[in-house]
Each structure stands twice: as C-alpha cells, then as structure tokens.
Amino acid sequence: MGGPLLKAEAIRAGYGPIEALKGLSLSVAPGEIVTLIGANGAGKSSTLLCISGIHPIRSGAIHFDGERIDKLPAHDIVKRGLVQVPEGRRIFPRLTVLENLQLGAYLRKDLDGIKNDFERVFALFPILAERRAQAGGTLSGGEQQMLAIGRAVMSKPRLLLMDEPSMGIAPVLTAKIFDTIRELNQQGLTILLVEQNAHLALQLAQRAYVLETGQIVLEGPAQELLADPRVRKSYLGEE
C-alpha cells in the first residue's frame, strides 16, 4: 500500500472571527473506515466541508491521493472521486428517486458502469427500486438517508465522506444503514465517517479521531478508543 488516500495537515478554518478548526491533521488510508467523533460544535462538519472544498481553509494543506486539493473548487474535487454525503441528507425533494440517483452519476460518461451501479444501489436498498418514480421528499427519513448514500455511490467515489448518517433516523434504520456502510467498505470503498453516535461509529470503524474545539485530542484504533476511559466518560455516557 502506498501513502494515505486522504491527508489533511494542520488545517485552519473559520467563520468570520470564529476559528472552527485550529490546526487539525488527519489521514485516511485506502480501504479504511475512519471515524471522527466529537461533541456538537467541535468542528466535525466543518472538517468535512473543508475537505470537500465547500468551505475554504485559511492555512494548512489537504492532499487526496497525493494531489493537493485545497485550492480546487468543490465540483472538481468530486471529479477526483472524493464525494460527500452531506449532513441532513439533502436529497432533492421534488425530483424522483431515479432522478436523484441520475444526478449522482452527473459527472460520469460510462453508460454501462452507470447501469451497473444502479443495480448495485437497488441491491443495497431494494426500497429505492420500489419507489424509483416517487418524489424524494415523500420518503421517510431513513429512506432519504439511503437515497443520499445511493446517490453518492452513483458518483463512483474512491473516498466517501459521510456526515451524521444516523441523524434523525429510527434506530432500526440506523442499524440497517450502518450495515450498508460496512458492506460498501468491504466492496473496497474508503470511508471517513463523522458521527455523534460515538458508540456505533467506533464499533464500525477501524480507526478514530476525537475532535474537541477544532483540534484532535485523541486518536487510535477504534477498539482502543472504545475502551478508553476518557472516551467512555465524554462520549459514551459512562460515569
């Protein structure tokens, strides 16, 4: 294995006078699931927005597959295979399920590959096949999350950034979605997962970072962090 697929070095970013990320560094190796956990406002979503080029960084550097990407516009980063499933799903509510998925494949020209990926998404989430002609907004929260993941898969990502896939979703469906994330990873997809549900995320991921007020305070194999007393106290709700 070569170098890391994604490498962020000492990135700083903010909103006006507020500094959200204070020199954060992280890396994701090919084939890994890495999770980023932390409290509300720690900077988890900001990290993902910076990596995918939607929010600019003030200093530091981000490399994807050896290429520096932090100066590229967001749509060019997607072209390189770094795709984000945004927080709150953000499917297109008035477009049909099928149109949502077609937009996922927006940048692709390989018709056969697109057709295969439709099959793949429908195999992962049979409910989407059933509802392909329905407007995305008519789906339940969990189904919308499935659609958001399916839409991202349609863009043939090499690295998938996922922001809070469990947000606002019934526990039964959360479990189903986490199973799917594992399945996608086993099919070879590298994943960087941001989660508030630290317990679920740490069980799924191989490695984890703990983020506090814009800085990484702890990192290591997920299993170790799951056992770490500091993590158990702050994020898993133990005394």
Partner 1 sequence: MGARGGIWPAVYARMHWILLGLAALLPAVDLLLPPEFRLADLVRPIFIFAVLGMGLNIVTGFTGLLNLGVAAFMAIGAYTYAIATCDIYPFQLGFWTALPLTIAVGAAAGIILGLPTIRLKGDYLAIVTMGFGEMVQDSLKNLDVITKGTQGINPLPSPTLFGYVFKPETPLPWYYLFLALLAVVVLLTRNLERSRIGRTWASIREDELAATCMGINSMKAKLLAFAIGASFCSMAGGLWGAYLGSSGEPGNYDFQISIIALCIVIVGGMGSVSGVLLGAFVMIGFNAILLTKLTAFLAQHGWTSSDNVFTSPSNWKYMMFGLALILMMRFKPEGLLPSRRVKAELHEYDKDVPRQAGGATT
Say if CB 160 and CB 85 are below 8 A apart.
yes
Q: Which of 12, 22, 63, 79 binds partner 1 (CB under 8 A)?
A: 79
Q: Which strand (E) or helix (H) includes residue 6?
A: strand 6-15
**Residue of 59, 116, 140, 186 that binds partner 1 (CB under 8 A):** 140
Under rule CB under 8 A, residue 151 binds partner 1: yes
- Name the residue among 32, 13, 20, 5 with its Cα closest to residue 219: 32
* CB-nearer residue toward partner 1: 59 or 138: 138
Q: Contacting partner 1 (CB under 8 A), which of 8, 121, 169, 218?
A: 169
- Under the binding rule (CB under 8 A), the answer on residue 54 touching partner 1 is yes
Rounded Cα distance, 21 and 19, in Å = 6
> Does 78 participate in binding partner 1 (rule CB under 8 A)?
yes
Which whole-number Å values give the CA distances from 195 to 30, 39, 90, 108, 164, in the listed order? 20, 9, 17, 29, 5
Q: What contacts 39, CB < 8 A, 6 or more positions away? A: 196, 212, 234, 235
- Lookup: tokens for 192: 């960087």
Task: Based on the shown chain and the rule CB under 8 A, indicate whether residue 27 belongs to the binding site for partner 1.
Answer: no
138 binds partner 1 (CB under 8 A): yes
- Answer positive or negative: Cα dihedral of 122, 125, 129, 132: negative
Under the binding rule (CB under 8 A), the answer on residue 149 touching partner 1 is: no
- Among 83, 194, 201, 205, the residue binding partner 1 under the rule CB under 8 A is 83
Say whether residue 137 binds partner 1 (CB under 8 A).
yes
| 124 contributes a contact to partner 1 by CB under 8 A | no
List 61's β-bridge partners, or say none: 9
Instruction: Spell out, one character per residue from 88 to 107, where the chain touches partner 1: x when CB under 8 A holds, - when not.
Output: --xxxxxx---x--xxx-xx
Which residues sit at the interface with partner 1, rule CB under 8 A? 52, 54, 73-75, 78-79, 83-86, 90-95, 99, 102-104, 106-107, 127, 133-135, 137-144, 151-152, 155, 168-170, 172-173
